Structure 1
């Protein structure tokens, strides 16, 4: 029987977190989008205003996976929510309950902190992940679609703020 332990990431875990992010990006066929640097992650996780938190899962003392999450806010509930950005368990450690342990840990953390929701997104082709989330009681939010502005579109939209402020 394997021993599974969860712990908060520390600054010395930044290289591990980056490795896990890159492994996840490869699995999701998005390796080309994984451009975060150690400096980016150090600032985001451990800087003056941390933007996210990470829980590391270890199996028999070996790094097996992680959950990276942050706080959002629901105006309808008037409460913060926990948003899971990345859940990843290395292939050699799958099927041992590590993903479930990470998810139940985050749910307990959300309840402990008084958050109103625990949410995440999943790629529509990732049938194993979808089945796993359904087994936890998650329900799809089919009436909502994710919208994104990034890269050049983000720069162009931001530039409009300058023009808008000049025109009143």
Structure 2
């Protein structure tokens, strides 16, 4: 079962974010707090949105998708950027990841969005294979660039 996240899901989402960061070999970088996530998802002006995957029988939270709207100047429409998709290892293969992606694709189609995008680590072959099986294509000509930490601070102060 896929549903919209509610404020009571925040502790579980933060826990799964840390599980994802550990899987991606980047646990020390996952510093978001429950308070920050609560504000981002449920504050006065929500900036991000989340879906929850629950086990149909136990109603246990087994995964989540956290996303936000982006905008294509070429298409002239919003799109969805999937920041995180995570299904707990013991629940993988049960269709939860596909159900989360299907729900997001449905949202994009219903709202007239032209794109649904996300990033995946180049070493994460299981995920890459799964995404390709859904018809997703890698954007090989594009490279993500990021400013953070000292470089962001320096440019922001200049």
Matched with 1:29 is 25
Q: Name the counterpart of 2:123.
A: 125
Which consecutive unaligned segments of at least 5 residues does structure 1 have?
161-168
* Alpha-carbon distance in structure 1 between the residues aligned to 2:110 and 2:16: 27
Which string of whole-angstrom CA distances, capped at 9 and with x for unpartnered residues, describes residues 114-146 of structure 1?
111000000000000000000000001000000
Match of 2:13 among 3, 17, 30: 17
Name which one, 1 or 2, has greater alpha-carbon Rg: 1
Give the distance between the partners of 2:38 and 2:98, measured in 1 at CA: 27
TM-score (norm 2): 0.97
Match of 2:106 in 1: 108
**Whole-angstrom distance in 2 between the partners of 1:123 and 1:29:** 11
Question: What CA RMSD, in Å, does the superposition of the two structures yield over aligned residues?
Answer: 0.6
Matched pairs, number: 156
What is the TM-score normalised by the length of structure 1?
0.91
Aligned to 1:63: 61
Hey, what's the Cα distance between the residues in 2 that align with 1:120 and 1:94? 19
Moved over 2 A (4+): none
Name structure 2 gaps, 5 residues minimum.
none
Report the secondary structure of 1:105's partner residue: helix
Q: Shift of residue 113 of structure 1?
A: 1.1
